Structure 1
Amino acid sequence: MLTANEPSLHAAQLGFARKSYLPRVLGLAVGSPLVLTVFHHTGAPLAEWIGLLLYCFVWPHLAWAWARRAGNPFRAEQRNLLVDQFAGGFWIALIGFNALPSALTITLLCMSSLTAGGMQLLGRGLAWQAAGLVLGLLLGGFRWLPESTMANILSCLPLLLTHPLLVAHTAHQAITKLRNKRAELEHQTRHDGLSGLYNRSHWEAQVRNEFARYRRAGLPATLVLTDIDHFKRINDDHGHEAGDDAIRRFAGLLRECLRTTDIAGRYGGEEFGMLLPQTRAKEARVLIERLRARLHETPLLDDTLVTASFGVAELSPDLDSHEAWMRLADQMLYRAKHQGRDRVAGLDFGEPPAATTPPLPPARQFGSARENGFALTALLSGLDSMRQPMALLDASDRLVLTNDAFRELHQLPPTVSTYAGLIRHCHSKQVGPRIGDAELDTWLRLTERKRHSHPNHVFDVYMVDGRRFRVTESTCAGWILMVLTQLNEEVPTAAALPYLPRQRVSPAPLSQAG
């Protein structure tokens, strides 16, 4: 009796019995003359003729029905093979151990058992064959007719000719199925199930290989990371099924727009990667702009425009690893996000048109530093010599540089290396800014969410010692410069404004600047 969870397993096990059914029908039909010619020569009784005909022409169908109705068809078919072994020994005894038919019967039965169950089933089969031989000797008496007549020899030829062909055909099917299964498993290990593109591990391996090729031959290559804009909103507003459909359609657009030499992969979630061998950044920009335009022409969701942002990074001698190359592409992707999304960003692409991305307020622009990308030399000029507390943070929340005034104001120990660590240190030691009585992790998360759309801003903060500072945070494509200016006005003792945290951004290591 099968349970609701077992039909698929039963069907898989039944496949073995199904594949054995036709060979058993043909094998016994073609092999019956081996015994019939000996019976004719020895004048065997009618009961032995009837028994042989029933075994050769009825037993295959009974065996198939038995396996089909069994709870475990695979084990049932193995029992059927043991019955075949038993019957083989029985008929060998009745034909008087006629040499050629007996040898052929033993060989073919042992081959079937070995194929179906290995040495274990072969050993059991030989035991059953011996039991059948004993029963044949008990019922028919001992007969010794080892010499094979010409009729006996000719009766063996059909089985000798057809059985190897049948075995070869079965082996070919098994090898083909195994090869297809292996190819399927290889495809699954290399490809993402949802998008059909390369998965992250295999795609990164291609990036690593391309970087090694660049080191050997100096061939140009460009890496592109892309992210579907506001993907969480798609899942929230339209459901996860619509999000999955958007990913599949986006992957289809990649396959349509990219060249045969380009390699696309799903990097994770709604983020994708494209490796463009022998391609300069400017050439890649043309291709990616064409892809971006297709997103406007062919929406990923019906009646809903879904855009994407693209970060482009060309290989250059100052990139010392494929990881650095990928970080640079990720940094450019953040730049595209920061500039307003739905655009392509690269180191030398310049700023987007003013009509699509409003400029930063004049008071917080970096001038030449912003126009020239990451001109950190100008950005950090005079940092330690300035009297105002100042700090530079990278996109991974690390305190890259701080001046003496900043460290003194926050009583910053050497062990603190991140912005979140700074706030936790101030909260526990009751130094630096007043944070309030809210639960710290909740406060950090909520205030960060409020400031998500304001990476460049000015706000006031009250210190524990009563002083008031004006904090100016300016973001330059991932780098954050924080400057604190003390205000001279008196501070009410009841004032306790929270020290607002920064907007988190994508990684932009210091080694990648400039």
Structure 2
Amino acid sequence: MENHRGKGLSFARRIYMPRIIGLGIGSISVGAALYPLNLPGWVWAFLLFNGTLWPHLAYQLSTRAAFPYRAERRNLLYDSLFGGFWTATFQFNPLIAVTILSMMTMNNVAAGGLKLFLLGALAQVTGVMISWLLFGVAFTPSATQLQLWACLPMLTLYPLAVGMVCYRLAIKLSEHKRALSALSRTDSLTGLLNHGAWKDLLHIKFQQCRQNQVASVMALIDIDHFKAINDTYGHIIGDSVLRQLSIELRRNLREGDLAGRYGGDEFCVILPAMSLQQAWEVMERLREVLNDYRHPQVPELRIQLSIGLATYQTAFTDAIAWLNDADKALYIAKNTGRNKISVTSPPPSGGSTTRLSA
């Protein structure tokens, strides 16, 4: 309900200013067409109301309604009704009739597509009938020089106002599209890349490594005994562990490094333009930081990581071969005591590591 109301209010705000401009300058064109005719004073009073007060009244009616979007669509039909009434009242002066009716039709199509176009056309016909009942049927086949000049503001300023509204709407849609694209590529719990997005970027990074022959390292990270953490402390604590790891990843990685949640308690990182020793140092620092972390609600909880590292090799036929190499290293780390780093080549001196034989 609140979401629909918010969208309706936004819709009413978008139409508010174009309606002020359109009806304001449109009343000038209508007044020039009515001027040669002998019409009662209330017609001029109604034109003044339609051109100056109605835009503000319509905005209040829509913003105060329970369903602003529906109310604003009704207001657009009232606009069409008034347009049909004025067209018949100034006796279908061709230049001004085409100007007024075409601008209102453009409004209806832009705001509601074919359905609102048809409803608007019906409202215009109704307005014509009301005018004919009041003043009779008459036609003025030509326009004066004054009437021609009176149409110019409507033909120039109003399309500009509508164009600005459409431009701003296009910008907002583009921003929403980018936001949705980012959400579709992001893991909701950790804020890192999700499985699919990381796999897509893995293939891109692999091709870059192949083309540029740049040393790069992949790391697969697994939280040791994560199921036991969930079983012992509950899934809320387990989720906080996953978030803490993602926080430390972002804190320890460079801007160009790619970190993602591969699935469950497994994370994956690509470290482009980095040697194996540098990558080992980064991952060792991460492992130690998590090992020293104490959860405020369960201080006895310990977070330990098993990590597998694999450097890019020209012998890899595709990105999956690189990923498999890192997975083999992780498998060794998990099966030789956990809480350590396993690499696919001799590790740097010091630290808790396991060498994975070729």
TM range (shorter): 0.7 to 0.9
Match of 1:272 in 2: 267
Written as runs of structure 1 = structure 2, the 5 A alignment for 1:82-481 is 82-215=77-210, 218-296=213-291, 299=293, 301-302=295-296, 303=299, 305-317=302-314, 319-349=316-346, 373-374=356-357
SS at structure 1 position matched to 2:36: helix
> Matches of 1:172 and 1:327 in 2, distance apart?
48
- Read off the aligned partner of 1:123 and give its amino acid letter: L
SS at structure 1 position matched to 2:271: strand
Determine what percentage of the aligned residue pairs are the same residue.
Answer: 34
Equivalent residues of 2:206, 2:319 under 8 A apart: yes
Alignment coverage as a number of residue pairs: 355
- Structure with bigger gyration radius: 1
> Matches of 1:318 and 1:106 in 2, distance apart?
70
Q: Deviations over 1:210-231 (max 9, x none)?
A: 3344555544332100022333
Equivalent residues of 1:210, 1:221 under 8 A apart: no
Return 5+ residue gaps in structure 2 as ranges. Answer: none
Match of 1:76 in 2: 71
TM-superposed CA distance for 1:39, in Å, is 3.3
> Matches of 2:100 and 2:157 in 1, distance apart?
14
TM-superposed CA distance for 1:333, in Å, is 1.6
SS at structure 2 position matched to 1:266: strand
SS at structure 2 position matched to 1:193: coil
1:63 counterpart (27, 40, 58): 58
> Matches of 1:32 and 1:111 in 2, distance apart?
18
Q: Select the structure that is richer in helix.
A: 2
> Matches of 1:72 and 1:9 in 2, distance apart?
8
TM-superposed CA distance for 1:142, in Å, is 3.0
Match of 1:445 in 2: none
TM-superposed CA distance for 1:233, in Å, is 4.1
Equivalent residues of 2:342, 2:356 under 8 A apart: no
Equivalent residues of 2:219, 2:326 under 8 A apart: yes
For normalisation by structure 2, the TM-score amounts to 0.86
Equivalent residues of 1:339, 1:352 under 8 A apart: no
Match of 1:409 in 2: none
For normalisation by structure 1, the TM-score amounts to 0.62
TM-superposed CA distance for 1:12, in Å, is 2.2
Equivalent residues of 2:332, 2:356 under 8 A apart: no
Equivalent residues of 2:21, 2:158 under 8 A apart: no
Return 5+ residue gaps in structure 1 as ranges. Answer: 1-5, 358-370, 375-513
- Read off the aligned partner of 2:135 and give its amino acid letter: G
Q: Deviations over 1:5-46 (max 9, x none)?
A: x23223323432332233223322332222233334334211
- Read off the aligned partner of 1:324 and give its amino acid letter: A
TM-superposed CA distance for 1:109, in Å, is 0.6
- Read off the aligned partner of 2:236 and give its amino acid letter: E
SS at structure 2 position matched to 1:41: coil
- Read off the aligned partner of 2:4 and give its amino acid letter: L
Q: Alpha carbon RMSD of aligned pairs, Å?
A: 3.0
Q: Deviations over 1:331-375 (max 9, x none)?
A: 222322333333211133469989x79xxxxxxxxxxxxx9755x
**Are residues 195 and 300 of structure 1, via their aligned partners in 2, closer, same or farther at CA, if it must alter by over 3 Å?**
farther
> Matches of 2:330 and 2:180 in 1, distance apart?
33
TM-superposed CA distance for 1:146, in Å, is 4.1
- The higher-RCO structure (CA 8 Å, 6+ apart) is 2
- Read off the aligned partner of 1:80 and give its amino acid letter: N
TM-superposed CA distance for 1:88, in Å, is 0.7
TM-superposed CA distance for 1:330, in Å, is 1.9
